[in-house]
Amino acid sequence: EIVMTQSPATLSVSPGERATLSCRASQTISSKLAWYQQKPGQAPRLLIYGASTRATGIPVRFSGSGSGTEFTLTISSLQSEDFAVYYCQQYNNWYTFGQGTKLEIK
């Protein structure tokens, strides 16, 4: 099983600032990585696939990068609606998710 490790567990950032979330795979997964956003009481929403391609309707302030084992999700200028939990997920070998990063208001 490919283990996905996200850091930090919690990230405190002020609105308008940049947020950088990290995800590491236990073995190489090429660019077979997706990012999701989950708000309380809601299902996850697909943000990014292929490590860097935004899903339909996702604002340009969300960007993804990386390949191999190290990946990053960047939110360039945080809006109030961006405070949520973010998960990375690999699809190189079945599907496994990271444990999540909670993005909270500073």
Nearer of residues 12 and 99 to another protein, judged by Cβ: 99
Residue 49 CB, shortest distance to another protein, in Å, is: 4
The candidate with the shortest Cα–Cα distance to 99, out of 32, 36, 27, 29, is 36
Applying CB under 8 A, the residues found at the interface with another protein are 1, 32, 34, 36, 42-46, 48-50, 55-56, 87, 89, 91, 94-100
User: In the complex, what is the shortest distance from the CB of residue 63 to another protein, in angstroms, rounded to a whole number?
Assistant: 16
Question: CA angle 3-103-33, nearest 5°?
Answer: 35
